[in-house]
Amino acid sequence: MDFRKVQFLLSAHAMGQLPEPIYPDIAFAGRSNVGKSSLINRLVERTNLVKTSSRPGKTQSLNYFLVDNGLYLVDLPGYGFAQVSKQTRKSWQGLISRYVEIRSTLVCMVVIIDLRHELKSLDRDLIDWLRYLHKPFLPVYTKADKLSRNDQQKNAALLDASLTLTPDERIIFSSRTGQGLDQLRTRITALATSFQGGVDPGGFFTDPI
Ligand SMILES: Nc1nc2c(ncn2[C@@H]2O[C@H](COP(=O)(O)OP(=O)(O)O)[C@@H](O)[C@H]2O)c(=O)[nH]1
Ligand SMILES: [Mg+2]
């Protein structure tokens, strides 16, 4: 899968605006300012495909990107920004929960977490909820470059313990250095490939006429 073959598709503000579910969705979620846009940009090797912002909590839509005619990357609005109104928080929850519950082609939610800090309750809530729904998710611990290799391991072990994860279930990442990038691409490519394997492209034509 060539992640550099990427194009912006659309911004959806309601479920009715989502693109046809012909490719798998990989969605990206995380607290505002955690480094979600930077991670997506790094993944597709663009500097500003997704705008990195000093004004967190701004995006309130699902932003779809098409990768290599085989995969949708879905940039979800960031959560947990203290200054947004209750109403905005509610609409985040409404749109995201409908999306996660209804979108059958969502093959994985990448949950981006800051490796430097203890687990925040909103991150825990999100992961508990994904587990409850049996939705596959991939935690990515980012901003690893801000820590020594030792502290990376130490903090990752603490987050693993908080989330009851084993090291192979998550990725330590840095948008700045590219640490963990190959791992992330490999995981996403595998998910996209298994989705294609699950669809029978010749299904309509297998019966001889
Ligand atoms: N050192 C470091 N800074 C990062 C990393 N990822 C993001 N940042 C910085 O964190 C801030 C927020 O990043 P952004 O991608 O806009 O976060 P978003 O709100 O989650 O989309 C920006 O100043 C980024 O430059 C990283 O891996 N390492
Ligand atoms: Mg962003």
Ligand 1 midpoint to CA 53 (Å): 8
Contacts of 61 (CB under 8 A, 6+ apart): 11, 12, 13, 77
3-state percent breakdown (helix, strand, coil) of the chain, nearest 5: 40, 20, 40
Neighbours of ion ligand 2 (CB under 5 A): 37
| Ordered domains of the chain (ranges, CATH) | 6-199 (3.40.50.300)
Q: What is the pLDDT of residues 78-117, one digit of tens each?
A: 887 655 677 766 767 788 889 999 999 999 999 999 999 9
pTM confidence score: 0.90
> Which of 33, 115, 122, 140 best tests ligand 1's pocket when mutated (most atoms within 8 Å of CB)?
33
Q: What is the pLDDT of residues 110-119, one digit of tens each?
A: 999 999 999 9
> Whose C-alpha lies nearest to ligand 1, atom 2?
143
30 CB under 6 A from ligand 1?
A: yes
35 CB under 6 A from ligand 1?
A: yes
pLDDT at 108: 97
pLDDT at 60: 74
* Cα angle for residues 201, 206, 208 (degrees, 5° grid): 150
**What whole-number percentage of the chain has pLDDT above 90?**
71
Q: At what angle do helices 181-198 and 36-43 cross, to 10 degrees?
A: 70
Contacts of 200 (CB under 8 A, 6+ apart): 206
Mapped onto helix, strand or coil, the DSSP state of residue 33 is coil
Q: What is the pLDDT of residues 29-78, one digit of tens each?
A: 999 899 999 999 999 998 778 876 655 545 578 999 999 999 999 999 88
Q: What is the pLDDT of residues 161-203, one digit of tens each?
A: 999 999 999 999 999 999 999 999 999 999 998 887 555 444 4
Ligand 1 midpoint to CA 58 (Å): 15
pLDDT at 63: 93
CA atoms in the 13 A half-sphere facing the CB of 177: 13
pLDDT at 48: 79
